[in-house]
Structure 1
Amino acid sequence: MTDISHFFYRYFLQLGVSEAGAKYLNMAALLLVMLIVIVIADLLIRKFLLNLFTRFSEKTKTRFDDFLVINKVPRNVAHIIPLLIALEFTPIALADFDYLENIIVKGLLVLSILITIWIIRSFIKAVRDYLNTKDELKDKPINSYVQVVLIVVWSIGLLSAFAIVTGIPFFKFITTLGAASAVILLIFRDTIMGFVASLQVSINDMVQNGDWITFEKFGADGNVIEINLATVKVQNFDKTITTIPTYALISDSFKNWRGMEDSGGRRIKRAVIIKQSSIKYLNKEKVEALKKIELISDYIDKRAADIDKYNEQNNVNKDLLINGRNLTNIGVFRKFIETYIEHHSAINKNMMIMTRQLAPTPQGIPLEIYAFSKDKRWENYEYIMADIFDYIIAAVPYFDLEVFELISEFKTSD
């Protein structure tokens, strides 16, 4: 070993170089040889492993080995042997320079930790990409778990590197850091909260990639495109991106539209407000006129017959319409709306269909439609709902009713 460490030393002495100079030149020459050997070994091993993995991945059916190549796992693994050569050769090249040897060896050990971290990182990314191709895992926050593992790996690696540089044993170094745990918790507060939140989100199946969510607090209204450890990215319908802290999903209230998308229809819940002053009883002439409306002609015949029978049996004085039982224009109109919705081709008949009268307001009486459209796509849903209300609003005057409109009065100066 001594002969190798002083391989060029005697040669430089023979050339008339001083002992000190010969030592430095010997060290430089050995380091140069080591560098050349390391570079050649790295190139050869990297090329060999890359070709080996590429050929192997082409012959196998699984795509996992393809992702190993894509994420450069073989290339990173190839650095291990050159690094071992450097660790083995450094004490020989620096046999006469103990202080410098100590520094370089520590540097190589730190570099070995970084290379190990990089290998683990590329391998984990390959696993992530492979798992993302599985249909049963596409709705899981895999990125969150990957980030947690990488944080742990980087933390252990950096602590090991500090322990090597300072010369403190690793476990003693960890024990010393325990006293600063409060500071560490404060620094990694968002990460810890995000990790816990991502677990709860995944376990409770609160949000999946592709879900449409509405989060008013953060101005988000669109599809979830990414779930990470600390954030959830939502692409709004105007193509902007909103970033939401992951822990906000469990600490605040938001709306997930997945239930609607998985159901048989999308809810229509909108009202027409009728002026109270236009509501009245229907006389016989108006009843006869409304019988011409095909959707409710059978209903009016039956109801009118029942009412006339009741009034005759009870000898009701019909000189005033208020006496006895009567049809009202708003009641007949409500039945008209309900019948129209029930016959509409775009409405899901297997889900609730209802036309109801809500409590009176200062503006009038709301008649609310509650039904579900078959088509859940936003643009088609809006078209269906507009088509329904176009028809209903246009039908209001046939029942001698009026829709409330807020009229602004402007005073003009002479």
Structure 2
Amino acid sequence: MEEYIATLRELLVEPPGAYSALMFAALLVIAAIANWVTKYILLRWLHRLIHALPVGQPEDKALRLAFIARLAHVVPALILATGVSHSVLELNNTLVVVVSNVCSAFIALTVGMAFCSLLDLIDVVYRRRPDAPSKPIKGYLQLGKILVFVVAAILIISMLVNRNPLILLSGLGAMAAVLMLIFQDTILSLVASLQIGSNDMVRIGDWIEMPSQNADGYVIEVALHTVKVQNWDKTITTVPVRKLITDSFKNWRGMFDSGGRRIKRSIYLDQRSIRFLGKDEVRHLEEFVLINEYLEQKNVELTEWNARLEAQGVKPINERRVTNLGTFRAYVERYLRSHPGVHKDMLLLVRQLQPGATGIPLEIYCFTNDTRWVSYEGIQADIFDHLLAILPTFDLRVFQQCSDTSGMIAAVPVQSARPEEAPGGKV
């Protein structure tokens, strides 16, 4: 081989530089052939091999191929960098240094991009872990990408100017203030990500509500700089990570974890429909299984109270009697406790609020045992459908404003529930 090269050198003495130009062209051809072999033969073989493997998802395999493909670009650059430094080419020292440094810079860039592809692969694999939504690492991987590009940039610049990288690093100390200004958002986002992760404030899949950022929906991504929220109308709101530290927001995760979703709604009753119940009406209401025990206890309590008043010679007007509103309130409470959709271990309350221009609010406060939105709305509607329909049995009326042009406030009169006209006691 050396004899052929020596003979070729003797033949190409004239014109000057012909031998070096020919050898450099041959080196370029060798690099091109190596690039073709790497891309169209080796990578295709690896492509088939990776897709034939039984393990891994298609997304994993695509990222593996991207990682290998980026490393394949190193092969022609290595051939050029090694070939120009060989004495056979007889190139000018300046040209050798330039070509070698450019190839080295290209190798540094390619390795950095390949390492970023590896970080993407790590993120995809990690997200399949059961604890990935509660501990996302995408922000830290993005920080790693930034560091990789910074290191690659320093190496590329040092290779192109043919200087030691340590010289550039020593100059970065004087540029610390400028770098702090450039990476201000990154530093703030990193600190916010650490606080969010350590305090477990937001996870992927959490439903958060942040009015200041017009965000109301599920968290679909937590990155270094931003948090993506898919709103109820399927729009995407991008919230800066630091806003989750500086601004207030509501996380509904506690509601889902507790297993109960709150119902807090009032029925507005016409105050003019509230009255005492007669004995016949009380006997009829005792047919309700839910409140017969309540009425029996109330009857014993009122009988004893009124007996003491009678013994004192007090007039009958001072006697205590059962009201339709109190009986209805007791019925509502027992109905909720027996409802299959109401959580029995959480707070359940039926209370009167302060009367106003729209009547007496009777507030129902309880929790459903199904936190899904559709099921929750169905349970809530079922409860209030029943309560509104059974109100006339207790001779109560719902307060509402008339829709005519007079704007008067009125209520539809309801006949008193006599035993022979009232519905049966089935609930």
* TM-score greater than 0.5 by the shorter chain: yes
- Over the aligned positions, Cα root-mean-square deviation in angstroms equals 3.3
Query: What letter corresponds to residue 37 of structure 1 in structure 2?
Result: I
Q: Is the 8 A contact 2:101 2:162 kept in 1?
A: no
Structure 1, unaligned stretches of length 5 or more? none
Q: Distance in 2 between matches of 1:361 and 1:3?
A: 111
**Superposition map of 1:166-185 within 5 A:** 166-185=161-180
**Superposition map of 1:44-83 within 5 A:** 44-45=37-38, 47-48=41-42, 51=45, 55=49, 67=61, 70-83=64-77
Q: Distance in 2 between matches of 1:175 and 1:330?
A: 83
Q: Paired residue for 1:374?
A: 369
Q: Is the 8 A contact 2:277 2:322 kept in 1?
A: yes
**Superposition map of 1:105-116 within 5 A:** 105-116=100-111
Q: Distance in 2 between matches of 1:69 and 1:117?
A: 15
Q: Distance in 1 between matches of 2:342 and 2:350?
A: 13
1:110 Cα deviation after fit: 1.4
Q: Is the 8 A contact 1:260 1:266 kept in 2?
A: yes
**Superposition map of 1:141-152 within 5 A:** 141-152=136-147
Secondary structure, counterpart of 1:363 in structure 2: coil
1:73 Cα deviation after fit: 2.5
1:96 to 1:302, Cα distance in 2 relative to 1, 3 A:
closer
1:242 Cα deviation after fit: 1.3
1:54 to 1:69, Cα distance in 2 relative to 1, 3 A:
farther
Query: What letter corresponds to residue 73 of structure 1 in structure 2?
Result: F
Structure 2, unaligned stretches of length 5 or more? 408-427
Q: Distance in 2 between matches of 1:246 and 1:236?
A: 17
1:250 to 1:341, Cα distance in 2 relative to 1, 3 A:
same
Q: Paired residue for 2:340?
A: 345
Q: Distance in 2 between matches of 1:385 and 1:75?
A: 57
Secondary structure, counterpart of 1:233 in structure 2: strand
1:31 to 1:275, Cα distance in 2 relative to 1, 3 A:
farther
Of the candidates 328, 344, 353, which is equivalent to residue 333 of structure 1? 328
Residue-by-residue CA offset, 1:339-370 (whole Å, 9 max, x unaligned): 11112122222333221223444433322212
1:388 Cα deviation after fit: 0.7
| % identical aligned pairs | 35
Secondary structure, counterpart of 1:335 in structure 2: helix
Of the candidates 80, 86, 95, which is equivalent to residue 86 of structure 1? 80
Residue-by-residue CA offset, 1:156-210 (whole Å, 9 max, x unaligned): 1112222333444322322322222222222222222222222222222222222
**Superposition map of 1:7-406 within 5 A:** 10-14=10-14, 17=15, 19=16, 23=17, 25-45=18-38, 47-48=41-42, 51=45, 55=49, 67=61, 70-92=64-86, 95-315=90-310, 317=314, 319-320=316-317, 323-406=318-401
1:12 Cα deviation after fit: 4.5
Q: Distance in 1 between matches of 2:223 and 2:27?
A: 44
Q: Distance in 2 between matches of 1:262 and 1:75?
A: 45
Q: Distance in 2 between matches of 1:7 and 1:212?
A: 78
Secondary structure, counterpart of 2:341 in structure 1: coil
1:134 Cα deviation after fit: 2.2
1:65 to 1:260, Cα distance in 2 relative to 1, 3 A:
closer
1:265 Cα deviation after fit: 2.5
What's the TM-score, normalizing by structure 1? 0.85
Query: What letter corresponds to residue 66 of structure 2 in structure 1?
Result: K
Q: Distance in 2 between matches of 1:328 and 1:27?
A: 112
1:6 Cα deviation after fit: 9.2
